Structure 1
Amino acid sequence: MTVAQKEPIIQFTQVNKVYENGTVGLKDIDLTIYPGEFVVVIGLSGAGKSTLMRSVNRLHDITSGDIQIGGRSITQAKGKELLSMRREIGMIFQNFNLVKRATVLRNVLTGRVGYYPTWKMLLGMFSAADKQKAYESLQRVELADKVYARADELSGGQQQRVSIARALTQEPRIILADEPIASLDPQTTHRVMDDLKKINEELGITVLINLHSVELAKEYGSRIVGIRAGHKVFDGPVASADDETIAAIYSGADTEKVGA
């Protein structure tokens, strides 16, 4: 089945975000992402990349418009429906968001919290099946030997791979990665990006990722979305993102070029 024949997994329709201080985060965003894509969002710091990313799972509420996940509006969702939709969306953060004093296994198991009552989660009452899921996720990022290590005993790259395993344990259809390599060295950066690409290709999980590096965007992405001052100024396959286009995304030149 071609992308054109698939139903969108993420759909932005005329999405706007204006913060309380009047700052425009997003302006008239229309964006359609299909299952299995690896979409890289690029742009200057403060352009709106993180706002776009965090609006997908409602870490940020939008001001107007609609965002649909698999044909359902997450913008309108409440209560159990919102919880159910968020289970389908794994999130990887720049600063890892791990409990540093907890074991790697316990951190990865938090990917299952949406499936448990709060009291069971606090007591660590995870099922054997979920512990097996967590272990298999650690195997996928080659950290199974660290299962009982404390998170703060690991390197930054290892901690980020633990956060990838946590997202995988959630069994998501979508993984959002918000500048996941910003604090990593070049070698570790490629390891983390390799893991995300492998997960995308082998498991068919849709990846939406913010990156500062244009080179990495072109190396790993199947599609690039350019954001400038809250506007979508480019959207197209990696091959169509030539030097002139990239320069326009970052410089604010009038040579805006929107891909197919």
Structure 2
Amino acid sequence: MSFDLNDAGPQMAPMGELIPDGTFAKVMMKLRPGGENGASEMDAGLLKASPHSDAKMLDCEFTVTEGPYARRKFWQHFTVAGGKLDEKGQSKGWNISKSAFRAMIDSALGLKPDDLSETARSKRVIAGLKQLDGITFAARIMVEAPDNPNYRDSNKIANVVLPNEPTYAAIMRGETVSPEPVNAPPRKSSAAVPAAWNAQAPAETGWSNAPQQAPAAQAQPGAPTSAATPGGAPAWLNS
């Protein structure tokens, strides 16, 4: 038996080599179950317990899907319950993560953050965090220094790139976009989130401020229904 190596892909980057700070890329997020139950039935065994507090987190693996850093991976945790509380007694970590998850959906579906139509709002309602598994969106990647000097720097999501930002279309096409390092001056105001983003939505939208709420998705009047794909992820996430 012989092995034809002519069609082998290029070598993978050395283990531990970081994606440069400020790189824009299209990434896919996969969830790594941690054994702790979430608030919804589909999130059973999905979360990971923090070793330092009562926080529960999503353990996420990101893979760059296109461009010069295609197939490169990095990992990040998102708190979805517990941890430090704000003045209202709500999880600070969950509120931060909730904003990131909404941005991921908007980026994946091409929804502008100020689109509060019934159709757009219905697409931001998920039946469980498990439905975020496999979502693909545009992102800016940063290099983060660890709190513990014994650990190495790592890549993290600096921010999700939204459809109203000038780099969005090129990133989603897999084109190379000039990086914007996180330590650079603030980005242009045109990329700022519109005021409507920060408006508190009614509880029935599924994006209320209650910690780790994962309501069942309900179709809004006139909104298309979302078919589920094998594995529990809704088809619309990557449509």
TM-score, structure 1 length as denominator?
0.25
Which protein has the bigger helix share?
Answer: 1
